[in-house]
Amino acid sequence: MTANGTPYAPHTEAETAAMLSALGVEREEELFDIPEEIRFDGTFDITNREERTTRALVGRVLSENDELVEFLGRGHYDHYVPSMIDHLTDRSEFLTSYTQYQPEIAQGFLQALFEYQSMIVELTGLDVANCSMYDAATALGEAATLAIRSREADGARVLVPERLHEGRRRTLENYLIGHDVDIEAYPMDDGNVDVAELTDRVDESTLLVYAETPTVRGAIEEHLGSIGDLTGEHDALFVVGSDPLALALLEAPARLGADIVIGDAATLGLPAAYGMGTGLFACREAFLRQVPGRLVGASEDATDRRAYTLTLQTREQHIRRERATSNICTNQAWVALRTAMHIAWLGPSGLAELAEDCVVHARELADRLNEIRGLKAPVHDRHHFREFVAHTDQPAQAVASDLEASGYAVHVVGEHEIQLCVTETNADSIDGLVEAATEAAK
Please answer whether residues 389 and 73 qualify as being in contact, where contact means their C-beta atoms are separated by less than 8 angstroms.
no
* Per-residue interface string for the shown chain with other proteins, residues 390-409, x marking contact by CB under 8 A: --------------x----x
Q: What is the C-alpha separation between 145 and 292, in angstroms, rounded?
A: 9
Q: Is 321 left (phi over 0), alpha (psi -120 to 50) or beta?
A: left
Site residues for other proteins, 34-73, by CB under 8 A, read: 34-35, 37-40, 43-49, 51, 54-55, 57-59, 61-68, 70, 72
Could you give the angle at which helices 396-405 and 430-440 cross, rounded to 10 degrees? Answer: 130
Picking from 381, 392, 431, the residue whose alpha carbon sits closest to that of residue 191 is 381
What count of other Cβ atoms lies within 10 Å of the Cβ of residue 10? 8
Taking CB under 8 A as the binding criterion, the range among 81-89, 148-156, 193-201, 364-372 that sits at the site for other proteins is: 81-89
Give yes or no for a cis peptide into 35 (omega within 30° of 0). Answer: no
Q: How far is the CB of 385 from other proteins (least distance, A)?
A: 9
Site residues for other proteins, 99-138, by CB under 8 A, read: 99-109, 111-115, 117-119, 121-123, 127-129, 131-132, 134-138
Which one of 13, 80, 235, 320 is in contact with other proteins (CB under 8 A)? 320
Site residues for other proteins, 157-176, by CB under 8 A, read: 165-168, 170-171, 173-175
Decide whether 235 or 319 has the Cβ nearer to other proteins: 319
CA dist 422 → 75, 350, 356, 373 (Å): 13, 18, 12, 21
Which one of 179, 201, 376, 416 is in contact with other proteins (CB under 8 A)? 179
Decide whether 19 or 234 has the Cβ nearer to other proteins: 19
* Rg from Cα positions in the chain: 25
Q: How far is the CB of 7 from other proteins (least distance, A)?
A: 7
Which one of 144, 146, 328, 365 is in contact with other proteins (CB under 8 A)? 328
Contact between 5 and other proteins (CB under 8 A)? yes
Contact between 297 and other proteins (CB under 8 A)? yes
Question: Would you say how long the chain is, in residues?
Answer: 442
Pairing of strands 192-193, 188-189: antiparallel
Decide whether 377 or 413 has the Cβ nearer to other proteins: 413
Q: How far is the CB of 373 from other proteins (least distance, A)?
A: 25
* Per-residue interface string for the shown chain with other proteins, residues 371-390, x marking contact by CB under 8 A: ------------x-------
Contact between 183 and other proteins (CB under 8 A)? no
Picking from 391, 420, 419, 379, the residue whose alpha carbon sits closest to that of residue 192 is 379
Amino acid at 108: G
Which one of 26, 28, 435, 439 is in contact with other proteins (CB under 8 A)? 28
Which one of 10, 152, 204, 428 is in contact with other proteins (CB under 8 A)? 10
Decide whether 44 or 204 has the Cβ nearer to other proteins: 44
CA dist 212 → 58, 223, 247 (Å): 38, 10, 12
Picking from 428, 142, 88, the residue whose alpha carbon sits closest to that of residue 263 is 142
